[in-house]
């Protein structure tokens, strides 16, 4: 989870990760190599109802050579609970699709993509725009796109630029089937931590570790405010997994991912202009919020970066960036008193 835009770019100098941008004329992905950097940050301030000023900052990207017409800066998404999300039946996700806005203007669109192995169009679940249909697809795509590693799903590097001939081209040496299967299964079994909503129960005089220090009343109040601000219109709190997964561990469970796995128009400030299937440049898949409270602890000395490009330095910034369909919800948060905002943040931090 934690990765700022700048540390992601720094990482590119150590890892063989590449930049790809879609050509505006041919639509094909082009390899931009590593000649990309964060040249600075554009900032603006937003004043909350109680007078608190929040500075929002957004990375400005510079390219060596030609600037592509469309590009998208993405940080890595948290990887917990992915097998549980795969086990949610399609019908349950599709049942929440709305083509007419609710009272707040919230809709919800499904993304669809080709399963690269079968060619069948399936519901998308993974990635910032829900354009990957399975964990196997997500893992194979990341191997190819981020690390230039081929696999049985994408047997040749030409898959990057020429989807139609991807499987007919000469196969490169890549990771073999058994390794891809193991990586996929590993991802599918990464567990989700329990919510910390109860006080620790440590005896008097014992100070629990910071992440176990919980103010139960504040967390309870925060959960109410999360629903009251209608964050739950997209970050829906409860789903059930079906019986279809090959992993027994993820079958038949009630889960609390705080995502509907659907796409929402989040407004022009968050837009990247990159279309992926049904997802327009303004659209993003609702981020799962489970485990989000651990970000600050797993980050160590690395700054946390929330949102798709890691621009938000804390949870308040992440919420205040919400626009488009989430505007009414953001406005309620902006209108809260400091005590209520703190309670909402305490709730998020308990997840
Ligand atoms: C219209 C749907 C919608 C509503 C309503 C909504 N969100 Fe979101 N939320 C999203 C989407 C989509 C993203 C991902 C946006 C991005 O990364 O650019 C997101 C991202 C986030 C993130 C960052 C998560 C991360 O790991 O980077 C937080 C925190 C968050 N939302 C909290 C809230 C809170 C609190 C509310 C209510 C005040 C709220 N959201 C209301 C759709 C919504």
pLDDT digits (tens, 9 = 90+) for 223-278: 999 999 999 999 999 999 999 999 999 999 999 999 999 999 999 999 998 999 99
pLDDT > 70 in the chain, percent: 90
Name residues whose C-beta falls within 8 Å of residue 264's C-beta, 6 or more positions apart in sequence.
106, 107, 108, 109, 234, 283, 284, 285, 286, 324, 325, 326
Query: What confidence score (pLDDT) does residue 34 get?
Result: 62
Q: Compute the distance between CA of residue 330 and CA of residue 55 in angstroms, rounded to an integer.
A: 15
How far, in Å, from the CA of 277 to the mean position of ligand 1? 21
Determine contact, residues 124/131, Cβ cutoff 8 Å. yes
**How far, CA to CA in Å, does 327 sit from each of 104, 207, 266, 321, 323?**
8, 40, 8, 9, 5
Residue nearest to atom 32 of ligand 1 (CA): 319
Domain assignment present for 201? no
What are residue 22's DSSP bridge partners?
29
Cα of 93 to ligand 1 centre, how many Å?
Answer: 18
pLDDT bucket at 13, cuts 50 / 70 / 90: very low
Neighbour tally for 55: CB within 10 Å? 12
19 pLDDT higher than 70: no
Torsions phi, psi of 52, nearest 5? -65, 130
Residue nearest (by alpha carbon) to ligand 1 atom 40: 231
Domain of 61?
5-192+213-350
Ligand 1 in reach of 351 Cβ (< 6 A) = no
**In-domain check, residue 197:** no
Look at 29-38, 112-121, 164-173, 226-235 and tell me which has the smallest mean pLDDT: 29-38
Q: Is residue 198 part of a domain?
A: no
Q: pLDDT digits over 82-136, tens only?
A: 999 999 999 999 999 999 999 999 999 999 999 989 989 999 999 999 999 999 9
Helix axes 338-350, 216-228, angle to 10 degrees: 100
* 315 Cα: distance to centroid of ligand 1 (angstroms): 10
Q: Is the pLDDT confidence value at 23 over 60?
A: no
Query: Could you tell me if residue 203 is inside a domain?
Result: no
What pLDDT was estimated at residue 275? 92
Check: pTM over 0.75? Answer yes or no. Answer: yes
Residue 21 falls inside a structural domain: yes
Q: Between 164 and 237, whose confidence is greater?
A: 237
Domains in the chain, number: 1
């Amino acid at each position: 989870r934690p990765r700022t835009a700048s540390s992601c770019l720094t990482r590119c100098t150590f890892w063989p990760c590449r930049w790809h941008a879609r050509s505006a004329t041919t639509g094909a992905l082009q390899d931009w190599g590593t000649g990309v950097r964060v040249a600075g940050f554009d900032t603006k301030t937003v004043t909350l109802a109680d007078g608190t000023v929040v500075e929002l900052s957004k990375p400005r990207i510079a390219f060596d050579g030609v600037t592509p017409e469309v590009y998208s800066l993405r940080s890595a998404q948290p990887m917990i609970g992915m097998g549980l999300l795969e086990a949610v039946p399609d019908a349950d996700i599709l049942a929440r699709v709305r083509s007419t806005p609710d009272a707040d203007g919230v809709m919800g669109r499904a993304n669809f993509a080709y399963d690269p192995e079968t060619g069948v169009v399936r519901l998308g679940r993974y990635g910032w725009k829900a354009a990957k249909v399975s964990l196997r697809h997500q893992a194979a795509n990341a191997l190819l796109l981020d690390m230039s590693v081929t696999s049985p799903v994408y047997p040749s590097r030409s898959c990057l630029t020429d989807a139609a001939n991807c499987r007919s081209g000469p196969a490169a040496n890549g990771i073999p089937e058994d390794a891809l299967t193991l990586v996929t299964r590993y991802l599918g079994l990464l567990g989700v931590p329990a919510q910390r909503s109860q006080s620790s129960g440590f005896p008097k005089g014992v100070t629990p570790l910071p992440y176990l220090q919980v103010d139960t009343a504040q967390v309870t109040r925060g959960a109410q405010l999360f629903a009251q601000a209608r964050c739950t219109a997209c970050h829906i709190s409860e789903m059930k997994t079906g019986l279809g997964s090959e992993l027994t561990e993820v079958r038949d469970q009630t889960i609390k991912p705080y995502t509907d796995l659907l796409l929402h128009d989040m407004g022009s400030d968050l837009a990247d202009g990159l279309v992926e299937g049904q997802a327009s440049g303004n659209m993003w898949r609702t981020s799962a919020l489970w485990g989000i409270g651990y970000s600050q602890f797993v980050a160590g000395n690395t700054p946390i970066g929330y949102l798709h490009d890691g621009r938000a330095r804390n949870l308040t910034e992440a919420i205040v960036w919400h626009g488009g369909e989430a505007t009414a919800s953001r406005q309620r948060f902006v209108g809260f008193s400091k005590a209520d905002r703190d309670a909402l943040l305490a709730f998020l931090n308990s997840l």
